[in-house]
Structure 1
Amino acid sequence: MSTSPAPRIAVIGAGPGGLTCARVLQRHGIDVTVYDRDASADARNQGGTLDLHADSGQIALQEAGLLDDFHALARPEGQAKRILTRHGEVLVDYRPGTHEDAAPEVDRGQLRTLLADSLTPGTIQWGRTLTSAAANPDGTHRLTFDTGITADVDLVIGADGAWSRVRPLVSDAMPVYTGVTFVEAHFDNVDTAHPAVAELVGDGHVFATGDHKGLIAQRNSDQHVRAYIAITDDVDWYRAAGIDLDDTTAVRATLLRAFAGWDEQLLTLITDNDGPYVNRPLFVIPAPHTWPHTPGVTLLGDAAHLMSPFGGNGANFAMLDGCELALAIARHDTLDEAVTAYERTMLPRAAEAGDGAAALARNFGPGDRDPASIPDFAEAGEQYKRGAAAYRNR
């Protein structure tokens, strides 16, 4: 980047994609400010665990100079996956090799802290909720925050997730409900307090689907397990059922009726949780999502290509987006050239991956799951490694 004076670059959103972008920019001597509505990196629970793929998330971390730090935090054993029928029959019990590093797991909160702590102090402006972004006559953009503070910037990068406030600058696309809702439950001190759940989940994940429903659980660090009780229903299913989401007993009773006839050990994911449930309807932006090149603004991650969680591409693509955008800015003479080059690569990649709606339909369709539809997890790991080698040899 040879622009003088130094360009004013703002990243909206301190998630994995936005923080990766900021880190890579700073490694190339480029100033950036990140704005996020959270009060701090750990102001709220960041959610479950992520598998960072060798051909995307790990490439981004390598460019960020954080790959070794990531491996020190990650759980390679978390790549284990068990696939069961709704009656408890084991279809697949995949255990990764001791040194398998194709897609190790890391808690979202740990990843966010790793990235945030790597930035120059003061880079992230916490407690800043973007209320509007508008083009100025000179081609810059004015950002207005809920605190009344404004900032004029040469490039605004929308890394602000599904309900992005930046996206309307380039696109009128809005998230669409997939028809699937995850009702999240959690279990603390699982090895001692919930041994049946610990046995069911093992070191990684367990999946059981059938009859338009599913029970999914993942082990996080520190003896914590998150379960996702998947139902195919209207987005306001709880209103139709006449229950309040804060009424844990009523939610549990409704879910148990929906899962009548399922294996008793699987049902512990509904009956034995600590604390309340969290309702998480799944939304996507229908793929392909593209927009006309718009000087001074671009998107990455969920703001650009909101996908269902099946496939594990969301955070991985967000981090690769952030990395590639930062590298493009470092390697091109102008911001406009950089954004053009970035979008030329990112948009086709996201379009090819799709929005994941088909995977939801396949996993939560009628009847029992077809064993032939279950991926070969060992081969998937090899594909990530081959993809990483091909990416680096481009």
Structure 2
Amino acid sequence: MEILIIVIAVVFAVAVIGVAATFLVRGSATRRRVPPASERTAAPGGSTATIAPEAPPRAQAPPVASAPVVVEAPAPAEAPAPPVVAVPVPLEVPEPTAGRLVRLRGRLARSNSAVGKGLLSLLSRDKLDEATWEEVEDLLLTSDIGVAPTQELVERLRTRVRILGSRTPEDLRDLLREELLTLIGPDTDRTVHSLRADGAGPAVVMVVGVNGVGKTTTTGKLARVLVADGRSVVLGAADTFRAAAADQLQTWGERVGASTVRGPEGADPASVAFDAVKQAKDQGVDTALIDTAGRLHTKVGLMDELGKVKRVVEKHGPVDEVLLVLDATTGQNGMVQARVFREVVDITGIVLTKLDGTAKGGIVVAVQRELGVPVKLVGLGEGADDLAPFEPAAFVDALVGQ
């Protein structure tokens, strides 16, 4: 019995201690959840709201200093250096142009002596009847002077002879000389028959013509004329359709120390001409001579392409001269060629080749009178220096045998 009472007492004591411990734990938890007054704010309705304390800021790691990134700027692209063009060393010294036509007067007179001597023989007859004047007219027509200039010359001669009275050979020669010089054009204004190659920058001269008249040879000889007059020259081989044309022109240039701009066979002629003028500008050269391919004046496509060459070259500046090369032996057929070329490229001057031999000097009159384009150069032979600036007085003197 005593043992049972002891057990019950122990169980009761343990239960009391457990209950007391539970109340103690709950009170401690309540005290931990109630914040101090400094952390309580008034909530709507007069109650208090608890603001949770802010967490302390996290300490940030100090920034790690990184090495600066160096970005190298690309080196500026260097402008390509202009191509170095080797200028040939002159192999020859061209003959001075002054007096070339005078020196060659004998050759010109021999080739045209039939005209001058025939006229003087007819005008020296004792009786100048209608039949004689018809012979004079026929002789002038066969010399390729042309119908209108022939009729004008015959009328003026008839009037002057009638007024003159006496007809000595000397008087007739002077009379004939004056009238022919009037037809051809006096050389009192030498700029009419001179090349326009004295402007600022390189003068640009295009050489045009039909197939077979000798444009490339004439261009090479013209380079000699200019070099002999103290000018520097760049040659443009724009005849890219004939295989040997560029080689031929380059040979002409090497002989007088002129460089030649050329392209591959079949290249665009306009681009070659453009490059030649550009090189002349870059090198400070006086004159750019452009040799063009031969054109049949009846081929519209080829003539249009010639016009394109001129337009492309004009992007550098004006073309100072467009010289049409005419074979003097073709006579009046050359007039047809000249009219077509004038419409396409506005020719400014004529180069008459092959005036030696069977050429008829009257074509000089026909070209200038009918086209209004002056003859500026004449070719009197096959020699390298047989191209001469045209001098009307010297030419007429050769015609009448003075």
TM-score band, normalised by the shorter chain? under 0.3
Which structure's residues are more often strand, by fraction? 1
Q: TM-score, normalised by structure 2?
A: 0.25
> Which of the pair has more CA radius of gyration?
2
